[in-house]
Structure 1
Amino acid sequence: MKTLYNILFLITIISFASCRDDFNFEPASGSELTFSKDTVYLDTIFSNIGSSTYNLRVYNNSNKDIKIPAIRLAKGENSNFRLMVDGMPGKSFENVELLAKDSMFIFVETTVDIKQQTNGAEFLYTDEILFQAGSNQQKVNLVTLVKDAVFLYPQKFQNGSYESITINDEQVYGFFLDENDATNGNELEWNNTKPYVIYGAAAVPPGKTLNVTAGTEVHFHRNSALIAFPTSTINAQGSIENSILMQGDRLEPNFEDTPGQWTGVWIGQNSNISIANTVIKNAVNGLLINANNGTASLENVQIYNCEQFGLLLATANVMGKNVVTNNCGRAALAITNGGVYDFTHCTFANYWSRQNQTAAIIDNGDGTLPFALQAQFKNSIIYGNASESIVLVPANNQSNFNFSFDYCLIKFQNTGNRYNTEVFPYNFNNPTNYNNNLIAKNFNEHQPYFSNTQKNKMMITDKATSLINYGNSLFAQQVPNDLLGNSRLTAPDLGAYQHVTSSVD
């Protein structure tokens, strides 16, 4: 009986509590509210592409529960900003409750059509969040930079399907660049007037050439790529003062160095590429060249933050000068199925934060003649945070696996003596394959002392004394200036840059 009494008493207490109206919210006067910031800066967005979500925290500093009569955007329903208050989306809210000494988040997004605002290439779009409390009104500013762009994407057909292209017998969401496009004009001529935003696989048609001029910015949406079809060419010629940039389309600082945002640049069989003063970053594979026609020319090319490989070369023919890589998930440079390669004053570095990566991987497939390897590395750096910076995988011992490192820095610690350094291919005393190199066999030996590997500043500093003026002058004459345009003819350092002072980061 006592148990039953206790249960009935508990039910009565709960019912009584549920009917009480202890929470009396008083109208806010305006003096109670403070904010985490007086201006919410939304990072740069492209026209008609939604922003990330940003937040503002609103504090009730008083000892009373308050009700904010109105929270609204100054431009009302015409505003291009969107709010979420207390879990509810909208642009205007009434009687928003906030407990004493409590806070709440307001989430902000925006999408802006630049053509409805201005004729310029970019502009600042602003609004205000107004907090109305009696006769007092508080505000928080909203600011975002909107950039116009040339948008390239597959067409949608009347039946609801989308344009596609065929790659390896598969239909892929993509399109061929058109030199007589009704909207964009000649899509095979890219310039620096506006950025380009790519959706899907943008393909250079067979027999055509895509020309990219200095200062051009190309932004790729997720799973998008630039592809050179057989017999086509990509000709990207930046300058030292005005480099070409290829990266993802997320412009927020949090995505500045995020790998895997887009697929990469693919150079298909029998196509070719000439690329100079260009930065490729944040892709899955930065630049893939597969059995190209002629010699692919890479000069002053930087490839960073790739989910798998920075430079992936398959039975290719490549000449590289002042090529720099860093932060790649599997390898900064991967040469597979042989090919012909000549790299001078390059820095193949890899400081990826996780294990099972290296700076360079080289193989010659099954070792047969079609996959014969001929690779030369001169006055270059092959280094990273892995114990061994090169992984050589010859088929059938030395058969069709020809390579040479001349006046290079190679990190090779041979952890646990896993490799036999007295026989091919790691016999560093064999002058046929290794000539006048610096072999870093521990962490302290021949350190390059890069300026800042996290920020991809891969210049060696003045602390790297063994690398300074170590380069062969004959090789330096083939690449007389470093990636920044500094002369190296009188005292060539190893790698793509002449050294800088250690205070530069």
Structure 2
Amino acid sequence: MKKQLLTGLILILIIGLSSCRNDFEFAQSSGNLGFSQDTIFLDTIFSNIGSSTRTFKVYNRSDDDIVIPRVALSRGNDSRYRLAVDGVPGQIFENVELLANDSLYVFVETTVDIDDFSSGNEFLYEDVIEFDIGANQQNVQLITLVKDAIFLFPERDATGIEETLLLGTDDENNEIRISGFFLDDDQLNFTNEKPYVIYGFAAVPPDKTMTVEAGARLFFHNQSGIIAANESSVKINGALSTTEAMENEVIFEGDRLEPSFENVTGQWFGIWLTDGSKNHEISYTTIKNASIGIIMDNQNQVADGATLKIDNSKIFNSSNVGLLATTANITAENLIIHNAGQSALVARLGGTYAFNNCTISNYWNKGFRQDPALFVSNTIPNTELTEPLTQFSFTNGIVYGDRNIEFILGAFDGVDFNYSFENSLLRFNDLFDDFAQNALYDFNNPAIFSQVILNQEPLFEDVARNLLRIDDESGANAIANSSTATTIDISGALRGDEPDAGAFESVDLEL
């Protein structure tokens, strides 16, 4: 009986399969596939460095199950592109099935050696993904801009151990090391001929000077940066550009070139000017998307830290602090420090600072921010360390952001704390009079606050896009002192007889 029942079930199953067999018959593709994109740009990549993976979808919008006879790269196995069709890797695929009103994913990536295809510093590498053959063939174009570059990285010894830099020792006398290397003499001059890609920390040796020519581009891998050792100097010699390509600007940024990484913070560490380094000069330079744009350290608590002259430069999108200075000596003109996860500018543990026509702003939108755009102190919070603040002068500038209080002064009693704000637009909206009795914020004292304007909008062009030009109706318009303001602004525009505060002269932005 059981045998007869089993035989009957098998017959029913066979009949059922036969009756719906048409559901599993695939028609030949007729060249009517749909694509989410017909051209795939794999962004810009460096020679021999793999791209990110791009994805697009292929649609069968018909009511029939179809088979695509062939999906292949036009260059075949010689192509530098790599494919995966619905998760299966390869260069050439045959008889790819696609159900009615369904879709499949195609993944594309590439790695190109520029020397195999071009003698120049960059070129477009192209290929085509061909779907079907003959009259039914449909194409998806692949385009990648490939840049030649100079790669700098820590070497490995015979045992495979990577080169490191000694920073010092901890409380238990254990060495503190980071991945990095000292630049050789023939590596100390960065030109504009090719971009540089740096892995780990590139260190300027003691008593040496690193120079960067106008138009140079330096790209940094994750947790990489520049570090200036004892008695060394960094000279970044950017120049005024005349086009939107910023052809003479020096640019420091992360090595992810995809548009989606354009404003991602914390992609690399930053520029580290140690307390023993000296005579640093930075002109017409953009430092973007670092953890700390510039850190001027004072780990040995010396009386005089690193010295820096910086002008016509921008520090954007730092995940922690834009410029972190400890007992430093800084002279800055036409400097913009914009958007940071903590403060845009920190000047702590004393030092000497002169800021003129600078814009310090913070409209951080990538999480909660509790720190002001500007913090000045003659101590380090939560420590007993103190050093005299010999000078902190902020003249013809802007300190603004989306918080009510955008600058904080932290003075340790009995230690020099010399500061002044003149002809500047400041954001200090003390809604609950928390600072009303604090003499540090006596805005009626002309010795420390002279000709300042409070809480009038600067009317920046677009803070989310790092555009800090101000409108003609800005609160910073015509409030600078013509005798102390810079002659030209950061864009090269003349200041005139009624100059504006901040790095930019105002224009009609039609806000």
Q: What is the TM-score of this pair, normalised by structure 2?
A: 0.89
Q: Report the Cα distance in structure 2 between the residues aligned to 1:297 and 1:16, rounded to whole angstroms.
A: 87
The amino acid of 1:359's aligned partner reads A
CA distance in 2, matches of 1:500, 1:193: 35
Which residue number in structure 2 is paired with residue 47 of structure 1? 47
Contact 1:332 1:350 in 2 (8 A): yes
Residue 329 of structure 2 is aligned to residue 313 of structure 1: no
C-alpha distance in structure 2 between counterparts of 1:13 and 1:232, whole Å: 87
| Alpha-carbon distance in structure 1 between the residues aligned to 2:100 and 2:215 | 54
CA 1:201–1:368 in 2, change beyond 3 Å: closer, same or farther? closer
Letter in 2 for 1:150: I
Contact 1:152 1:197 (8 Å CA) reproduced: yes
Corresponding residue of 2:158: 158
Q: In the alignment, residue 393 of structure 1 is paired with which amino acid?
A: G
- For residue 424 of structure 2, what is the amino acid of its counterpart? C
Structure 1 residue 499 displacement after superposition: 0.4
**Does the 8 Å CA contact 2:273/2:306 hold for their aligned counterparts?**
no
Q: Deviations over 1:347-383 (max 9, x none)?
A: 0011111332421011111687634352110011000
Match of 2:408? 391
Q: 1:228 to 1:12 in 2, by over 3 A?
A: farther
Gaps of 5+ in 2: 1-7, 170-175, 242-247, 299-303
Contact 1:308-1:328 at 8 Å conserved across structures: yes
Distance 1:404 1:357 in 2: 21
CA offset at residue 30 of structure 1?
Answer: 3.0
Alignment of 1:474 onto 2:483: yes
1:252, CA displacement in angstroms? 0.9
**Residue-by-residue CA offset, 1:303-326 (whole Å, 9 max, x unaligned):** 001001001101100001011011
Residues 1:403 and 2:412 aligned together: no
Is residue 339 of structure 1 aligned with residue 346 of structure 2? no
**1:73–1:129 contact (8 Å) kept in structure 2:** yes
CA contact (8 A) 1:27 1:68 kept: no
Q: Residue 276 of structure 1 aligns with which residue?
A: 283
Structure 1 residues 378 and 172: CA distance shift in structure 2, 3 A: same
Q: Which residue of 2 aligns with 1:359?
A: 373
Residue 27 of structure 1: how far off its partner (Å): 4.2
Question: 1: CA distance between counterparts of 2:450 and 2:17?
Answer: 85
Structure 1 segments (4+ residues) deviating >4 Å: 9-22, 291-294, 366-369
- Deviation by residue 1:25-45 (Cα, 9 ceiling, x = unmatched): 424333331212221111011
Please give the per-residue CA displacement for 1:1-57, whole angstroms capped at 9, x wherever unaligned: xxxxxxxx9999999979975542424333331212221111011111111111221
Query: One-letter code of the match for 1:360?
Result: L
- Name the SS for the 1:160 alignment partner: coil
2:203 aligned counterpart, secondary structure: strand
Residues 309, 13 of structure 1: alpha-carbon distance in 2 compared, 3 angstrom cutoff: farther
1:458 correspondence with 2:488 = no
**2:235 aligned partner:** 235
CA distance in 2, matches of 1:97, 1:127: 23
Choose 315-324 or 65-74, whichever is displaced more: 65-74
CA contact (8 A) 1:25 1:67 kept: no
Equivalent runs, 1:315-330 vs 2, <5 Å: 315-330=327-342
Q: Tell whether the 8 Å contact from 2:31 to 2:137 is kept in structure 1 after alignment.
A: no
One-letter amino acid matched to 1:341 = Y
Q: 1:15 to 1:285 in 2, by over 3 A?
A: farther
Match of 1:491 in 2: 498
Residue 282 of structure 1 aligns with an amino acid whose one-letter code is: N
The residue number in structure 2 matching 1:428 is: 443
- 2:252 aligned with 1:246, yes or no? yes
| Mapped contact 1:30–1:133 kept (Cα < 8 A) | no
| 1:14–1:258 CA distance, 2 compared to 1 (3 A) | farther
Report the equivalent of 1:37: 37
Question: Is contact 1:421-1:428 (8 Å) kept?
Answer: no
Relative to structure 1, the CA distance from residue 74 to residue 422 in structure 2 (aligned partners, 3 Å threshold; closer, same or farther) is same
How many Å separate the matches in 2 of 1:469 and 1:237? Answer: 30
Listed as ranges, the matches of 1:167-182 within 5 Å are 167-169=167-169, 170-179=176-185
1:116-175 CA-to-partner distances (Å, cap 9, x unmatched) read: 111110000011111125763221111100000111001122211111111233121111
Give the Cα–Cα distance (whole angstroms) in 2 for the partners of residues 226 and 480 of structure 1.
32
Rounded Cα–Cα distance in structure 2 between residues aligned with 1:161 and 1:234: 29
Q: What is the alpha-carbon distance in structure 1 between the residues aligned to residue 14 and residue 289 of structure 2?
A: 59
Q: Is the 8 A contact 1:25 1:97 kept in 2?
A: no
| Alpha-carbon distance in structure 1 between the residues aligned to 2:497 and 2:253 | 36
CA distance in 2, matches of 1:18, 1:295: 83
Partner Cα distance (2:499, 2:362) in 1:
23
Tell me how far apart the structure 1 counterparts of residues 250 and 210 of structure 2 sit (CA, whole Å). 14
Q: Deviations over 1:241-270 (max 9, x none)?
A: 111000001111111111000000000012
Deviations 1:449-492 (A, max 9, x none): 0111111111111121x42211112211xx21111111214221
Moved more, 62-71 or 353-362: 353-362
Letter in 1 for 2:480: G
State the alpha-carbon separation in 2 of the partners of residues 18 and 161 from structure 1: 63
Within the candidate set 305, 311, 330, 1:299 is matched to 311
CA contact (8 A) 2:350 2:386 kept: no
What amino acid sits opposite 1:387 in the alignment? N
| AA aligned opposite 1:310 | G
| 3-state SS of paired residue (1:416) | coil
Q: Which whole-Å CA distance do the structure 2 matches of 1:497 and 1:450 have between them?
A: 10
1:286 alignment partner, SS class:
strand
Distance 2:197 2:359 in 1: 30
Equivalent pairs: percent with the same residue? 41
How far apart in 2 are the matches of 1:144 and 1:344?
A: 43
User: 2: CA distance between counterparts of 1:297 and 1:89?
Assistant: 53
* Paired residue secondary structure (1:245): strand
Distance 1:338 1:12 in 2: 92
Name the aligned partner's letter for residue 106 of structure 1: V
- Gaps (5+ residues) in structure 1? 1-8, 180-185, 441-445
1:339, 1:372 within 8 Å by CA — same for their partners in 2?
yes
- Residue of structure 2 equivalent to 1:211: 211
In structure 2, distance between residues paired with 1:495 and 1:472: 12
Residues 77 and 470 (structure 1), Cα distance of their counterparts in 2 relative to 1, 3 Å cut = same
Letter matched to residue 374 of structure 2:
A
TM-score (norm 1): 0.90
Paired with 2:437 and 2:98, the residues of 1 have a C-alpha distance of: 75
2:76, 2:273 → 1: CA distance?
A: 49
The residue type paired with residue 275 of structure 1 is I
Measured in 1, the distance between the counterparts of 2:266 and 2:17 equals 52
Describe how 1:364-375 pairs up with structure 2 within 5 A: 364-365=378-379, 370-375=387-392
Matched AA of 1:414: D
**Counterpart amino acid of 1:220?**
F
Q: Kindly provide the amino acid, as one letter, of the partner of residue 162 in structure 1.
A: E
